Amino acid sequence: MLKEKYGKLAASFLFFVIASFLQLNFKAFFGWSPEFAMAALVVFGFYLSVLEMGVLSFFGIFLFNWRVLPGWEILFFFLIPFFMMFARKIFPWRNDFNCVLGTVFSVFVFYAVFGLQGILGNPGVFMWILAATAFFGAAVFRLLNYFYKISPI
């Protein structure tokens, strides 16, 4: 049990680092990037405990924003996985559908609140961002689902 728990946390850190590098490389190559890191955090909300999710979210904040005083975007980035962790118990659908829906919802709300000009300025790119983020979230969910059980919270 303990070995599986630490293996799951280590795999989550590894997936998060890979998602972060993919996101940064996408941005450098295409000029826009899907929210792979946010999708990874939403997916990990299905597999990790609250404490493990907190550690991973703090790691994500440190990775993306190393300043002492975080902004509202960083606070949202920290809280959305916890929201999805508890919202999945409310929604009656299958967990894989909840994961994709939660990923799309989190990216849409993030852009609607903090980057509305990104949605209104180029809706085609925003749709690509949503599609690529949902696909990445679904792929990570299926991969983790193959190896680990979903956390009961």
Tens of pLDDT along 14-57? 889 999 899 888 888 888 888 899 999 998 888 888 888 888 88
* Residue 117 C-alpha from the chain's centroid: 22
Mean pLDDT of 110-139: 88
- Predicted structure pTM score: 0.86
Q: What is the DSSP string of 65-123?
A: --SSS--HHHHHHHHHHHHHHHHTTTS-S-HHHHHHHHHHHHHHHHHHHH-HHHHHH-H
pLDDT band per the 50, 70, 90 thresholds, residue 3: low
> Would you say residue 78 has pLDDT above 60?
yes
Q: What's 31's DSSP letter?
A: S
